[in-house]
Structure 1
Amino acid sequence: MKPVLSLFSCCLLLLLAGCNSTTQPAEAPATATPPVATAPAATNTQTILFFGNSLTAGYGVEPEEAFPALIGQKIDSAGLNYTVVNAGLSGETTAGGRSRVGWVLRKPVSVFVLELGGNDGLRGLPLTDTRQNLQAIIDTVRRRSPQARIVLAGMQIPPNLGADYATEFKALYGELARKNQLVLIPFLLEGVGGVAKLNQQDGIHPTPAGHRLVARTIWPILQPVL
């Protein structure tokens, strides 16, 4: 299985690539037989990037237990040639994601899975701002990686801040998906949210078993995209 790459790993690879590009080849002896020129091996590896908050980052579980890594296992089992990058950041809001998405997309991606908004809802942030920030992220992806397929992960929140707020929050994901012709995961935490045994003590972040169920929810929607 290809390892799930973190942003740090990606940056390190880019840095090493830049350093290697300045190295001058040693001069061959005059009597050496000239090497036979060969075409570089073609690679069709594509990148799927998971961009989200602590749910994507795998807060409280091992990296290989988080759902992006589990999706990576399913990708390998299906014989699909993708590298999985986990760009989750704990505590991320849609405003924070809007600020860093350009940096994340310094290299093009083939599939962009957008999982943000939960922290906005839990903090009761204005939903007009959440909607605008998500739209700005989508626009940035379209500009930086025009060929990328975008998958939007829907989220729901408990009605602590009022039923109207919770209803509007849930609806904005479907609205954005229709407006932008995105692939929609209706509810990322389907069957996990609110189930005590599938969440850690905070009642918010999935356990390893919860992440496995999240991966099973995502895969039937994501596989046709890949």
Structure 2
Amino acid sequence: MPRLRRQYGAVRRFCNRKAAALAAVLLLAASPGWAEPLRLVALGDSLTQGYGLPPEDGFTAQLERWLAAQGREVQVVNAGVSGDTTAGGRSRVGWALADGADAMLVTLGGNDLLRGVDPSVSRDNLDAILTEAAAQEVPVLLIAMEAPGNYGPDYRAAFDAIYPELAETHGVALAESFLAPLVEGTADGAAMRDFLQEDGLHPNAEGVARIVEGLGPRVLELIDTAAE
């Protein structure tokens, strides 16, 4: 009998230790330190993708580091495709959200401008993207693009109106032109060249850093809303 009592006592102590260890793991898993990072999908074109830059200097990588510096643990998913139009974004938004998303950035329209796409077509495509995000209950920050004047004032007015009107219709957050931070605080638009690559279209690493600094507060608002 003493031997059986010793064996029973050993088993009981082992079970108690296992239970305590399991409880500790569950407690840690429930703590903020063990929470999975928020998943932020950045749907866009070459500006999002990081054209011409090493991966660590691209928009999504710099944004993820900036958010970390603000104390936010966020995985920024690079869903940018170089050359993509709003039509391309529309065709793959379901794929971009397939693995789940807590929030999404939408930065599309630059290539529509380069190709002179009818603003009504761009509007329909962006509307479909925002509709899909709403169906999946993914909050969105819509980042505007501004039309140049070479297509005439009517085209420019029609295109520039797309973003605020869709943001209001869908009840999503709106940020100013993606490239606006490159001229903010400068004497004239010519200073923007200092933050562009040699092609004159895509930001260099320093330009991306300025863009992230400019957009960062709006992104913070988005992810804090998503985390509620």
Q: TM-score surpassing 0.5?
A: yes
Q: Which residue number in structure 2 is paired with residue 182 of structure 1?
A: 172
- Residue 75 of structure 1 deviates from its aligned partner by 1.3
Cα contact 2:40–2:103 (8 A) shared by 1: yes
Which SS does the other structure have where 1:125 is aligned? coil
Q: Which residue number in structure 2 is paired with residue 124 of structure 1?
A: 116
Residues 1:99 and 2:91 are matched in the alignment = yes
Which among 147, 160, 167 is matched to residue 150 of structure 2? Answer: 160
Which among 44, 48, 65 is matched to residue 56 of structure 1? Answer: 48
Cα contact 2:133–2:139 (8 A) shared by 1: no
- Residue 84 of structure 1 deviates from its aligned partner by 1.3
Determine which structure has the larger helix proportion and give its number. Answer: 2
Which SS does the other structure have where 1:61 is aligned? coil
5+ residue gaps, structure 1: 1-32
Q: Which residue number in structure 2 is paired with residue 29 of structure 1?
A: none
Which SS does the other structure have where 1:225 is aligned? helix
Which among 95, 105, 111 is matched to residue 113 of structure 1? Answer: 105
Q: Distance in 2 between matches of 1:202 and 1:162?
A: 24
Which among 198, 203, 210 is matched to residue 200 of structure 2? Answer: 203
Which SS does the other structure have where 2:42 is aligned? strand
Q: Distance in 1 between matches of 2:146 and 2:171?
A: 21
- Residue 196 of structure 1 deviates from its aligned partner by 1.4
State the Cα deviation string for residues 130-155 of structure 1 (Å, max 9, x = none).
Answer: 001001011111222x1x22000000
CA RMSD of aligned residues (A): 1.9
Q: Larger radius of gyration, structure 1 or 2?
A: 2
State how 1:137-152 maps to structure 2 within 5 Å.
137-144=129-136, 146=137, 148-152=138-142
* Identity of matched residues, %: 36
Q: Distance in 1 between matches of 2:195 and 2:74?
A: 29
- Residue 121 of structure 1 deviates from its aligned partner by 1.3
Counterpart residue identity of residue 124, structure 1: G
Q: Distance in 2 between matches of 1:155 and 1:115?
A: 8
Which SS does the other structure have where 1:224 is aligned? helix
State the Cα deviation string for residues 72-111 of structure 1 (Å, max 9, x = none).
Answer: 1121112212211111100001111111111111122111
Q: Which residue number in structure 2 is paired with residue 219 of structure 1?
A: 216
5+ residue gaps, structure 2: 1-13, 184-188, 224-228
Q: Distance in 2 between matches of 1:151 and 1:77?
A: 20
Q: TM-score, normalised by structure 1?
A: 0.79
